[in-house]
């Protein structure tokens, strides 16, 4: 048997021999580290606004407006003739005011529809809307880069003499309008008098992000000082006093109009409570140090909530004792102190209709992901966004070339077969004369992998005349000369004479053996066993050869000669002589991947796990992505592991 990598030698010794003693001295020991960094992605568009309404929860994003059932069940897309939602505000009648930035809509709950409230020609400058707050008569104050206008319940617009670049609006109990701007705070009293507050008024904020009200009527203005630090200006006893957060923390979002306000910092949630309720600042809390105004001690303090804050909070709302936290990548979490786990309101557009997972990166922050659902996603290291290859072309898979290039396998509508395009300087260019023929409609590809010699191997699937999906072996594309050859089961085929390799039709995954001494050596996971091709010879391993299950789901091979297969019975290991299914790797496994450190990654019904040759560890996402089964795995050329489940895509940086 060929020499094995250090970690995998340890794997064989421990699993096959079931040894309990420490590994030999030459085996590298895992070093202490904070653990892998896990990102969870379910939604391509970040949440911009959240609002509870009579029929559920309205969630706005740059992808549009959706009404979600409060229990996380069904969701309905609300038709909006606009780019995306910027802000939401209640209309006092169970519905909502909605702005997309350029336009204003009113959402009516009984009809579940949003109708535009058109600004008159004289208010053509009323664009760039980004702040809304309902007024007592059922109308709404709207704020934008140009200032503030009042829109009545009847849809009449009236501009107010407020000149500011507005980011936040609030109405005090006495009818005073508070205007948070990019350069400070303005107030407009019920008589129409407007003035700007400054440090001499106790408000030292250089910019305002949100305006809140406590149950006791205290106005809380969230913003930043001239040095960029997070600060709060509190109106207490008719006067403002400004306080700096200590220790400093970036406030990502805030909510609270007549309820106990809640603020989100990175990875933490805080409630603004009366200082009398807590004699001293608790651990992990945030103190408030005086900056300006008559008060030397804040009447409020920030108490950390015993809730697991979702990552990258972008919007907050409160709903009858629960917190609705919108995020950049995983939808909205409904959080309650007495509920151990959040209820998620999500679009799940990243994995809607997904059947596969392939990844290829032009650079560390320039990656492309295809899930077999006809969409192509661009990943910049933080978020996903949809992209495309030409107009209306559907993408089935991507592949990573050895030179770092990115290939896409796609279909051009109204044309037969599949095409291959290469990414060059940010543009997709088709590889001339390459057409992969199929006997029926396009279903997808089981895999898209580049062999050690640089050939593109594709697992073929198609839709037959009866509408059933069928597998049809593999297509091998020589990208340099544009030649496509097909290898599949053909009755009476003589491989030596025809060059057609007897690849089983029902292949689902492929693994090339690195550093093989043969001209090429490849393993296939099939629905009828593990197929091994070396040169022109094929050997099919089935239960007769020691497999505990012939219906395989994935396969990986190592330069040390080990082959791993995933099946409902667990992970099988072939050492060149026989198959073993170690007890520690039992249980249904859907997918396998070999990490850059030689660790084996497993996609299981219970989530994502990794095996380092000693222990099996479960990897949990902070947003709960892996509570359901992981169906597909992929590793990019920078070592990041991608895991697709029914919920979304998790990315692990070991």
DSSP string across 594-654? E-TTSPEEEEETTEEEEE-SS-EEEE--TT-GGGS-EEEEEE-TTS-EEEEESS-EEEEE-
For residue 519, the model assigns a pLDDT of: 62
> From CA 86, how far away is CA 168, in angstroms rounded?
12
Residue owning tokens 């597998």: 471
For residue 311, the model assigns a pLDDT of: 84
| Cα 16 to Cα 10, 12, 22, 30, 618, distances in angstroms | 10, 5, 15, 21, 22
Burial pattern 195-208, b for ≥16 Cβ within 10 A else e, equals: eebebebbbbbbbb
Where does the pLDDT of residue 442 fall: very low under 50, low under 70, confident under 90, or very high at 90 and above?
confident
For residue 391, the model assigns a pLDDT of: 67
Cβ neighbors of 179 (< 8 A, separation 6 or more) are: 143, 148, 162, 164, 166, 168, 169, 185, 186, 187, 188
> From CA 381, how far away is CA 639, in angstroms rounded?
13
> From CA 442, how far away is CA 108, in angstroms rounded?
42
Q: Is 8 helix (H, G, I), strand (E, B) or coil?
A: helix
Cβ neighbors of 538 (< 8 A, separation 6 or more) are: 501, 502, 503, 531, 532
Cβ neighbors of 492 (< 8 A, separation 6 or more) are: none
Where does the pLDDT of residue 77 fall: very low under 50, low under 70, confident under 90, or very high at 90 and above?
confident
* % of the chain residues with pLDDT over 90: 62
Q: Is 493 helix (H, G, I), strand (E, B) or coil?
A: coil
Helix (H) or strand (E) holding 58: strand 56-61
Where does the pLDDT of residue 392 fall: very low under 50, low under 70, confident under 90, or very high at 90 and above?
low
Contact 161, 193 (CB under 8 A): no
For residue 17, the model assigns a pLDDT of: 27
CA dihedral 427, 433, 436, 440 (to 10 degrees): 110
Q: Which of 49-53, 215-219, 452-456, 491-495 has the lowest mean pLDDT?
A: 491-495
The string of pLDDT tens digits covering residues 89-128 is: 999 899 999 999 989 999 998 888 999 998 887 665 567 8
For residue 21, the model assigns a pLDDT of: 31
DSSP string across 323-356? EEEEESSS-EEEE-TT-SSPEEE---TTTTT---
pLDDT of 238 over the 90 cut: no
Residue owning tokens 């396969």: 555
Q: Is 102 helix (H, G, I), strand (E, B) or coil?
A: coil
Q: What φ, ψ does residue 157 adopt, rounded to 5°?
A: -100, 140
Contact 501, 487 (CB under 8 A): yes
The string of pLDDT tens digits covering residues 543-591 is: 999 999 999 999 999 888 899 999 998 999 999 999 999 988 999 999 9
Cβ neighbors of 514 (< 8 A, separation 6 or more) are: 452, 557, 558, 559
pLDDT of 12 over the 80 cut: no
**The three-state (H, E, C) secondary structure of 311-323, written as one string:** CCEEEEEEECCEE
Where does the pLDDT of residue 427 fall: very low under 50, low under 70, confident under 90, or very high at 90 and above?
very high
| Cα 245 to Cα 18, 280, 555, distances in angstroms | 55, 15, 53
CA atoms within 13 A on the CB side of 375: 17
Where does the pLDDT of residue 2 fall: very low under 50, low under 70, confident under 90, or very high at 90 and above?
very low
Q: Order the strands of the 427-430 sheet from edge to edge.
A: 394-400, 406-411, 419-424, 427-430
The string of pLDDT tens digits covering residues 22-34 is: 333 332 333 344 5
Beta strands in 346-468 (DSSP E): 358-363, 366-370, 376-379, 384-387, 394-400, 406-411, 419-424, 427-430, 441-450, 456-463
pLDDT of 44 over the 70 cut: yes
The string of pLDDT tens digits covering residues 276-326 is: 754 444 556 788 999 999 999 999 989 999 888 888 999 999 998 899 999
β 300-304/268-274 pair status: antiparallel
Burial pattern 320-349, b for ≥16 Cβ within 10 A else e, equals: eebbbbbbbbbbbbbbeeeeeebbbbbbbb
Strand partners, 271: 262, 303
The string of pLDDT tens digits covering residues 168-216 is: 999 988 889 999 999 999 999 999 999 999 999 999 999 999 999 998 8
Contact 489, 473 (CB under 8 A): yes
Strand partners, 114: 107
Cβ neighbors of 234 (< 8 A, separation 6 or more) are: 218, 219, 220, 221, 240, 241, 242, 243, 295, 298, 299, 300
Where does the pLDDT of residue 622 fall: very low under 50, low under 70, confident under 90, or very high at 90 and above?
low
Q: Of the spans 116-125, 277-286, 382-391, 443-452, which averages the highest pLDDT?
A: 443-452
């Amino acid at each position: 048997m060929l020499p094995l990598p250090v970690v995998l030698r340890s794997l064989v010794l421990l699993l096959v021999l079931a040894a309990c003693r420490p590994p030999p001295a030459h085996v590298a020991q895992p070093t202490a580290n904070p653990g892998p960094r896990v990102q969870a992605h379910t939604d391509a568009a970040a949440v911009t606004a959240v609002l509870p309404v009579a029929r559920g929860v309205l969630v706005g994003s740059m992808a549009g407006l959706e009404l979600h059932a409060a229990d996380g069940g069904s969701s309905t897309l609300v038709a909006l003739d606009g780019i995306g939602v910027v802000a939401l505000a209640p209309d006092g009648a169970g519905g909502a005011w909605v702005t997309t930035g350029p336009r204003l809509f009113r959402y009516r709950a009984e009809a579940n529809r949003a109708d535009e409230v058109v600004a008159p020609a004289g208010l053509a400058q009323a664009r760039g809307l980004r702040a809304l707050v309902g007024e007592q008569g059922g109308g709404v104050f709207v704020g934008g880069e140009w200032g503030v206008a009042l829109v009545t319940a009847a849809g009449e617009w009236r501009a107010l003499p407020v000149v500011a670049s507005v980011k936040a609006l609030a109405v005090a109990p006495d009818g005073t309008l508070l205007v948070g701007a990019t350069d400070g705070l303005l107030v407009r009293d019920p008589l129409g008098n407007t003035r700007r507050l400054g440090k001499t008024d106790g408000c030292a904020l250089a910019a305002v992000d949100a305006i809140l009200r406590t149950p006791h009527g205290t106005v809380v203005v969230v913003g930043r000082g001239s040095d960029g630090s997070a600060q709060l200006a509190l109106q207490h006893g008719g006067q403002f006093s400004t306080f700096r957060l200590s220790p400093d923390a970036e406030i990502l979002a805030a909510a609270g109009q007549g309820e106990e306000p809640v603020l989100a910092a990175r990875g933490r949630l805080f409630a603004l409570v009366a200082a009398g309720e807590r004699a001293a600042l608790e651990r992990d809390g945030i103190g408030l140090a005086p900056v300006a105004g008559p008060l030397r001690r804040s009447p409020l303090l920030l108490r950390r909530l015993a809730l697991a804050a979702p990552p990258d909070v972008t919007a907050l709302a409160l709903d009858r004792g629960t917190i609705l936290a919108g995020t950049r990548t995983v939808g909205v979490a409904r959080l309650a102190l007495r509920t151990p786990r959040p209820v998620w309101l999500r679009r799940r557009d990243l994995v809607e209709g997904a059947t596969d997972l392939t990844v290829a990166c032009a650079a560390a922050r320039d990656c492309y992901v295809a899930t077999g659902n006809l969409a192509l996603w661009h990943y910049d290291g933080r978020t996903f966004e949809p992209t495309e290859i030409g107009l209306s072309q559907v993408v089935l898979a991507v592949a990573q070339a050895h030179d770092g290039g990115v290939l896409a396998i796609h279909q051009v509508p109204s044309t037969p077969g599949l095409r291959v395009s290469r990414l060059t300087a940010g543009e997709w260019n088709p590889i001339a004369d390459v057409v992969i023929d199929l006997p029926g409609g396009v279903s997808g590809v089981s895999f898209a992998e580049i062999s050690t010699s640089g050939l593109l191997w594709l697992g073929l699937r198609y839709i037959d005349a009866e509408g059933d999906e069928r597998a049809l072996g593999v297509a091998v594309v020589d990208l340099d000369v544009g030649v496509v050859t097909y290898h599949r089961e053909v009755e009476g085929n003589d491989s030596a004479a025809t060059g057609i390799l007897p690849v089983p039709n029902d292949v689902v995954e492929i693994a090339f053996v690195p550093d093989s001494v043969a001209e090429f050596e490849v393993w296939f996971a099939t629905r009828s066993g593990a197929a091994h091709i070396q040169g022109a010879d094929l050997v099919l391993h089935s239960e007769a050869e020691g497999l505990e299950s012939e219906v395989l789901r994935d396969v990986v091979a190592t330069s040390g000669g080990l082959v791993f297969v995933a099946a409902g019975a667990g992970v099988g290991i072939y050492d060149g002589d026989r198959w073993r299914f170690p007890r520690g790797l039992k249980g249904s496994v859907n997918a396998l991947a070999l990490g850059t450190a030689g660790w084996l990654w497993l996609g299981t019904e219970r989530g994502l796990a990794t095996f380092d040759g000693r222990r099996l560890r479960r990897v949990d996402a902070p947003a709960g992505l892996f509570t359901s089964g992981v169906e597909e795995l992929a590793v990019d050329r920078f070592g990041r592991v991608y895991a697709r489940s029914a919920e979304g895509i998790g990315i692990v940086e070991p």
